[in-house]
């Protein structure tokens, strides 16, 4: 049998139902040290359930869940884990410094306050009450609390929601630094550019099943599509019905058309609308692949 002690997190053919609803159906994923795994999927795909199982908050109906080769409820395993969830439940009436000191006290070898401040971008916030911070500042405090115990496994559930661009870039840099130090990270995000920027590996869940898995480049190649953009009087609904068009949408006054083979569609576009402007063709990104993968599976 393969030793699993060095694998920070493992879901081994896990299934979970809530009454009649299947939340996860035979999902197998390992998260390795020094790897950032992005778990993607539309609403209801099973991402939160997967995190809940790994945190020991729920029991699977079938299959196994391990943290560092142990049950997720084990104290020794939990001490290796840092968590930043959507709902934080952090007391409003404590100062940022007090929150950090309290959380650090649970761990054997916590990071220094100065390191936490630097990694999470908390300059000038230590003496402020948590409840009086802006949403983005609170998010950064939550990140600091997740990493202050020097975890070997970090769960980041939509960590940059509500952050401005500068704060988001700062958080990405800190996440890369932690991964570089060997930390394993499970990231869920609705920002596909975040997965493109950070993920070593992507797992796409839909309706409780893995529908695609691999590097960002592999997922993108699995759905090798081109994205045509233009300004045109043609409607998205009309273009969507053309043979060879995978999807067509109107985005901010432009048509965005996903296709496998761009030339015939470009020809037809120019034929049907000689006034068409600002034509661009590019390789489709993770976002387009993701939409198609989750739609195919549905």
Ligand X SMILES: Nc1ncnc2c1ncn2[C@@H]1O[C@H](COP(=O)(O)OP(=O)(O)OP(=O)(O)O)[C@@H](O)[C@H]1O
Applying CB under 6 A, which residues contact ligand X?
18, 21, 23, 41, 43-49
Say which DSSP state 59 is in: -
| Residue nearer to ligand X on the CB measure, 55 or 230 | 55
Shortest Cβ distance from residue 250 to ligand X (Å)? 25
> For the chain, what's the residue count?
298
CB 292 within 8 A of CB 225: yes
Shortest Å, Cβ 77 to ligand X:
22
What is the closest distance, in whole angstroms, from the C-beta atom of residue 204 to ligand X in the complex? 11
Report the alpha-carbon distance of residue 65 to residue 296 in Å, rounded: 29
Tokens of 233: 């009087």
Nearer to ligand X, 86 or 181 (CB): 86
Nearer to ligand X, 52 or 149 (CB): 52
Q: How far is the CB of 155 from ligand X (least distance, A)?
A: 12
Asked whether the beta carbons of 258 and 247 are under 8 A apart, the reply is yes
Q: Between 121 and 208, whose beta carbon lies closer to ligand X?
A: 208
Nearer to ligand X, 85 or 125 (CB): 85
80 vs 157 by CB, closer to ligand X: 157
9: helix, strand or coil: strand
Residue closer to ligand X, measured from CB, 176 or 209: 209
Give the E-state strand segments of the chain in sequence order.
9-18, 21-31, 36-40, 62-67, 81-84, 153-157, 184-188, 201-206, 209-214, 226-231, 245-251, 254-259, 277-283
Q: Residue-wise over 38-54: b if at least 16 C-beta within 10 A, else e?
A: bbbbbeebbbbbbbbbb
According to DSSP, the β-strands at 226-231 and 277-283 are antiparallel
CB of 45 to ligand X, least distance (A): 4
Closest approach, Cβ 198 to ligand X, in A, equals 18
Minimum CB–partner distance for residue 160 and ligand X (Å): 15
Burial of 91 (0-12, 13-18, 19+ CB in 10 A): exposed
């Amino acid at each position: 049998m393969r030793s699993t002690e060095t694998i920070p997190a493992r879901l081994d053919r896990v299934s979970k139902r809530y009454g009649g609803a299947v939340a996860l159906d035979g999902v197998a994923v390992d998260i390795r040290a020094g790897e950032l795994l992005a778990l993607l999927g539309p609403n209801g795909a099973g991402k939160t359930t997967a995190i809940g199982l790994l945190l020991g908050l729920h029991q699977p109906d079938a299959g196994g869940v391990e943290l560092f080769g142990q049950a997720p409820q084990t104290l020794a395993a939990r001490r290796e884990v840092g968590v930043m969830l959507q709902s934080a439940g952090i007391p409003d009436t404590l100062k940022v410094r007090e929150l950090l000191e309290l959380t650090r006290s649970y761990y054997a070898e916590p990071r220094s306050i100065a390191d936490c401040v630097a990694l999470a971008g908390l300059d000038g916030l230590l003496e402020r009450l948590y409840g009086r911070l802006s949403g983005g500042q609170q998010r950064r405090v939550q990140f600091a609390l997740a990493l202050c115990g020097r975890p070997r496994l970090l769960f980041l559930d939509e960590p940059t929601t509500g952050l401005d661009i500068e704060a988001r870039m700062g958080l990405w840099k800190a996440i890369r630094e932690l991964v570089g130090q060997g930390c394993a990270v499970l990231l869920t995000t609705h920002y596909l550019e975040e997965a493109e920027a950070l993920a070593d590996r992507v797992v796409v869940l839909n309706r409780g099943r893995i529908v695609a898995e691999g590097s960002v480049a592999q997922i993108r190649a699995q759905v090798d599509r081109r994205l045509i953009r233009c300004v045109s009087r043609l409607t998205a609904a009309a273009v969507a019905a053309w043979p060879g068009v995978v999807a067509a949408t109107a985005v901010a006054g432009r048509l965005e058309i996903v296709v496998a083979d761009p030339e015939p569609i470009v020809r037809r576009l120019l034929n049907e609308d000689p006034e068409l402007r600002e034509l661009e063709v590019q390789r489709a990104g993770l976002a387009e692949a993701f939409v198609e993968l989750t739609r195919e599976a549905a």
